[in-house]
Amino acid sequence: MALLILFGFVAGAATAVSPCVLPVLPVALSAGANGGRRRPLGIVAGLVVSFTFAIVALVYVIDALGLPGDLLRTLAIVVLLAFGLLLLVPPLAARVEALGSRFAGRVPTPRGGDGFWSGTVVGASLGLVYAPCAGPILAGVITVTATQPFTAGRLAVAIAYGLGSAAVLYALMVGGRRAVRPLVRRGGAFQVATGAVMVLVALAMLGNYDTRFESAIASDWPSWLTTPAEGLENTGSARSALASISGISPHGLGSRATAGSEEEITRTPPSRLAAKKMKLPVYGKAPEFTDTERWFNTPGGKPLTLRQLRGKVVLVDFWTYSCINCIRTLPYLNAWYRRYHRDGFVIVGVHTPEFPFEREAGNVEAAIRREGIHYPVVQDNEAGTWNAYGNLYWPAEYFLDAHGEVRFADAGEGEYGKKEEVIRRLLAEAGKRVGAARADAHGIAPSNAQLTPETYLGPYRAERNANDSELHYGLDTFTQPSSLGPNEWALGGRWEVAAESLTASADSTLKLSFEARRVYLVLGAPGGPRRMRVFLDGRPIAPAEAGADVHGGTVTVHAQRLYQLVELPRVEHHVLELRPQAGIMGYAFTFG
């Protein structure tokens, strides 16, 4: 942990001299040069506090309430604009600073006072826009999605990162004060100039000119200059230290069991697996359900424990309701539960969300009804049980014997016949007579071909985006390129960009070049329903090619879930174009 804190401090210091911080720098330098001798210290203090609070607390609130992902940036723009306008009127600025000092329990600041408290206000606004500058070190700490739990380690690294940046900014401000000391003697005129700088920076941020400038120089300047901490952040030591606070051990029960079972399942036919002489290995005692929330399909909604289930064969299934791979396994899980439940077989679905909206109990409950799930399901919103298993995948299945030991595990789809044999074998070990009848399970099998990879739309995990400009938080206008390469996608028109989603405006379009038989997209329309037109290779999609959620070339989006847009007879290459109504949110494409 000490090593990662040191890395965080150094990475924060490097960020303070990277192009990403250029929009912040004029405000810091001008505000630090103006006012009393302690104003620079107030600015860095406010920056550290607001930056740390923003990345370890406000992100949770924003995710939980479903607020826009760029809320922090908007708030910072408002604060900078208001404070800049205030400085344009020196008498009013002096009164506000005096009120701030009095509120803090200090003697009212006289003319020529130290400026500490007004500096903290400026620093607090800067801290709210500083988080997007973070590189891989801080990305491993910031809770961008609500699936990551808060830990003391995350807080310590966030504080170290903020302190590293603050130290460099403080040195720059102190040096800047000496350079502009002759100008400061002019008093009010320099303060007005400082306010003008803040207003101009706020207006530039409002028009996203800061992010466009950053993108322009990042594409032309060498990486060591645009991201000076990149070499440090990608070292093996840094990656290992990040894993130590992620809560997931790369060598834990989950990885050992899935690796061992994968080898076993590929070389063992079902007939041999069913033989009495075949012994399934023991990978260790299964962890209890940890840090869970609401339970479904249990008597009175009461929680279950593995101790209560001792004597039964248990399948623990990690899933999330917008994951197509998870959805395709559900018919088999339902069939196994119907067939073997009376023989002492139990499934517990552990719903660990990927997107913020999957945390909502109402959405999970609707998915349980929609998929016909009758076995117990628990919300694992803080990934407590996921981390206890050291799990790494959706879906992932852990087969427990009657003594609570993990005997088999598998990540992903397929091999359903062999998995059913594991159930039967573990029931036989428990002394149950299951008979010869098998479960009557039928589901959609994944295509046996090279498909377009899962494609996330938000900048946090976006790949293969073909737009000339990078994705940055806030409202931006995009121009469609003339053509797309294999598996590329591009935006057109105006889109509101958040960490893990895009929200359409009135003129928004999205094109995707894909290789697949089926195309799915996670969508939502808060306050909907809203409609989205679907085109394939430049023409309205035909009924024979349309997915289950498309009717008359249009999909009606309401609930936040996975929508099927395309259903082809075989794996083929096409270009999909979507024209959504304003307010529709897109998260990620998956393919089958």
Strands 345-351 and 377-379: parallel
CA dihedral 390, 393, 397, 403 (to 10 degrees): 0
| pLDDT for res 218 | 43
| pLDDT for res 147 | 40
The pLDDT of residue 568 is above 60: yes
| Residue among 48, 52, 32 nearest 40 (CA) | 32
Mean pLDDT, all residues of the chain: 76
SS3 423: helix
Bridge partners of 346, per DSSP, are: 314
The pLDDT of residue 233 is above 50: no
| pLDDT for res 491 | 95
DSSP 8-state code for residue 55: I
| pLDDT for res 492 | 94
- 421-425 average pLDDT score: 93
54-91 confidence digits (pLDDT tens) = 666 655 565 555 555 455 567 667 766 776 776 677 66
Q: Which pair of tokens denotes residue 316?
A: 């623990």
Question: d(Cα 90, Cα 126) in Å, to the nearest integer?
Answer: 21
Indicate the range of 171-180, 207-216, 313-322, 411-420 predicted with least confidence.
207-216
Residue 20 — pLDDT band, cuts 50, 70, 90? low
- 394-406 average pLDDT score: 92
| pLDDT for res 90 | 66
Domains and CATH numbers, the chain: 2-246 (no CATH), 253-429 (3.40.30.10), 455-591 (2.60.120.260)
| pLDDT for res 215 | 45
Residues 6+ apart with CB under 8 A from 551: none
The pLDDT of residue 482 is above 80: yes
More confident residue, 171 or 148: 171
- 407-415 average pLDDT score: 87
| pLDDT for res 270 | 53
Distances (CA, A) of 55 to 61, 62, 98, 151, 170: 10, 11, 30, 12, 21
Residue 110 — pLDDT band, cuts 50, 70, 90? very low
| pLDDT for res 64 | 56
| pLDDT for res 134 | 44
Residue 139 — pLDDT band, cuts 50, 70, 90? very low
Distances (CA, A) of 157 to 39, 128, 246, 314: 26, 17, 12, 39
| Highest averaged pLDDT of the listed ranges 26-30, 362-366, 579-583 | 579-583
264-304 confidence digits (pLDDT tens) = 545 555 555 554 445 688 888 898 998 889 999 999 999 99
Question: d(Cα 339, Cα 373) in Å, to the nearest integer?
Answer: 14
The pLDDT of residue 352 is above 90: yes
- 44-60 average pLDDT score: 68
| Residue among 362, 41, 50 nearest 177 (CA) | 41
SS3 485: coil
More confident residue, 315 or 4: 315
Tell me the whole-structure pTM to 2 decimals.
0.55
| pLDDT for res 260 | 58
Q: Which amino acid is at 541?
A: I
| pLDDT for res 60 | 56
The pLDDT of residue 448 is above 70: yes
| pLDDT for res 73 | 61
Which parts of 104-151 fold into alpha helices (H)?
Answer: 116-130, 136-139
Percent of the chain with pLDDT over 70: 62
| pLDDT for res 499 | 81
Indicate the range of 4-8, 476-480, 508-512 predicted with least confidence.
4-8
The pLDDT of residue 198 is above 60: yes
Question: d(Cα 263, Cα 281) in Å, to the nearest integer?
Answer: 12
Percent of the chain with pLDDT over 90: 33
Indicate the range of 490-494, 559-563, 578-582 predicted with least confidence.
559-563
Residues 6+ apart with CB under 8 A from 65: none
The pLDDT of residue 189 is above 90: no
Indicate the range of 40-44, 452-456, 560-564 predicted with least confidence.
40-44
Residue 209 — pLDDT band, cuts 50, 70, 90? low
Residue matched to tokens 């606004």 = 125
More confident residue, 6 or 55: 6
| pLDDT for res 252 | 56
The pLDDT of residue 216 is above 70: no
- 164-182 average pLDDT score: 71
| pLDDT for res 57 | 60
| pLDDT for res 82 | 75
Question: d(Cα 303, Cα 307) in Å, to the nearest integer?
Answer: 12
- 407-434 average pLDDT score: 89
| pLDDT for res 234 | 45
